[in-house]
Amino acid sequence: MSKPPKAFSVLGLPIHVMSNYPAWLLERVQQRVGTHVVTLNAEMTIQAERNPTLAQVIQSAELVIPDGAGVVLYLQWLLMQKVQRCPGIELAETLLRQIGQSGCGAKVFFYGGANGVAEKASEYWLNQMSNLSIAGTHSGFHSPEEEEKLRQNLAQLQPEVIFVGLGVPRQELWIAQNRNLCPQAIWVGVGGSLDIWSGTKTRAPAWLGNNNLEWLYRLYQEPWRWRRMLALPEFALKAVVYRLTARGGVSC
């Protein structure tokens, strides 16, 4: 198996840096090595400072990728690392295509979103790749009784890849609590990716993403997020202070 990615510390949380995340994950899919993937951004980092349980989950994850612009700039400017942003949705899309092309037969499960969103997301991917094996789908809004049925279903199906779109921190905590149901699976928290795949929402234009401004488009689409965006300047200030205290180096 390929060597694990190099880890750096961003405000005490790990970030794994490597050249090809999807290829590394595909190898783990094929070898059935259980993995929790966290897509870290500035907002999640600030949340983890206030939520020790979330921080512990992130620290225990086998792969934490630099999803947000703030995290990437921290690595580039303060740690002088050559790293590119890896949006979680792009990681998931590339992994899905590689699974389909490899013919490994890995089964995929989509969980999250409003009623019908996960199902439409799976239909989108079946239209993209007819040979993709979809194990099942489930809405993110349900009763405790349905939650238990979902757990039983996952334990029976044993999908190799499970995309969980419940939003932060709910999806990270849910994965940590339930990954024992499918211990050999790749679990990925994908946030609003299911909404985009289902056509419920649209993603920011590429030029915004390429200039680390995708957050601005999300704010345009969902103005109510402005309070959450306050995490960005808070992260920037804390990142500089953290680095100046010489605590922001390699973590492993």
Tens of pLDDT, residue by residue over 166-188, are 999 999 999 999 999 999 999 99
Quote the mean pLDDT of the chain: 89
> How far apart are alpha carbons 65 and 62 in whole angstroms?
10
Would 203 be classed as within a structural domain?
no
**Is pLDDT of 195 > 90?**
yes
Weakest mean pLDDT among 54-58, 143-147, 176-180, 199-203: 199-203
Q: How confident is the model at residue 248 (pLDDT cuts 50, 70, 90)?
A: very low
Helix axes 42-50, 52-60, angle to 10 degrees: 120
Q: For the chain, what is the HEC assignment? A: CCCCCEEEEECCEEEEECCCHHHHHHHHHHCCCCEEEEEECHHHHHHHHHCHHHHHHHHHCCEEEECCHHHHHHHHHHCCCCCCCCCHHHHHHHHHHHHHHHCCCCEEEEEECCCCHHHHHHHHHHHHCCCCEEEEEECCCCCHHHHHHHHHHHHHHCCCEEEEECCCCHHHHHHHHHHHHCCCCEEEECCCHHHHHHCCCCCCCHHHHHCCCHHHHHHHHCHHHHHHHCHHHHHHHHHHHHHHCCCCCECC
Q: What is the pLDDT of residue 204?
A: 59
Average pLDDT over residues 72-80: 87
Q: How confident is the model at residue 235 (pLDDT cuts 50, 70, 90)?
A: confident
CA 234 to mean position of chain CA atoms: 22
Would 4 be classed as within a structural domain?
no
Phi-psi region of 6 (alpha: psi -120 to 50; beta: other; left: phi over 0): beta
**Is pLDDT of 54 > 70?**
yes
Q: Return the percentage of the chain with pLDDT > 90, whole number.
A: 69
Would 215 be classed as within a structural domain?
no
The structure tokens listed for 83 are 């790293």
Would 199 be classed as within a structural domain?
no
pLDDT tens per residue, range 117-150: 999 999 999 999 999 999 999 999 999 999 999 9
Residue 47, amino acid? Q
Strand 133-138 and strand 107-112: pairing? parallel
pLDDT tens per residue, range 79-126: 888 898 999 999 999 999 999 999 899 999 999 999 999 999 999 999
> How far apart are alpha carbons 231 and 229 in whole angstroms?
5
Q: What is the pLDDT of residue 219?
A: 55
Would 89 be classed as within a structural domain?
yes
Q: How confident is the model at residue 252 (pLDDT cuts 50, 70, 90)?
A: very low
Residue 239 domain boundaries: 18-194+221-244
> How far apart are alpha carbons 51 and 69 in whole angstroms?
22
Q: What is the pLDDT of residue 227?
A: 60
Q: How confident is the model at residue 1 (pLDDT cuts 50, 70, 90)?
A: low
**Is pLDDT of 209 > 80?**
no
Would 2 be classed as within a structural domain?
no
The structure tokens listed for 231 are 């995490």
**Is pLDDT of 9 > 80?**
yes
Q: How many residues does the chain have?
A: 252
Would 38 be classed as within a structural domain?
yes
Would 252 be classed as within a structural domain?
no
Report the domain count for the chain.
1
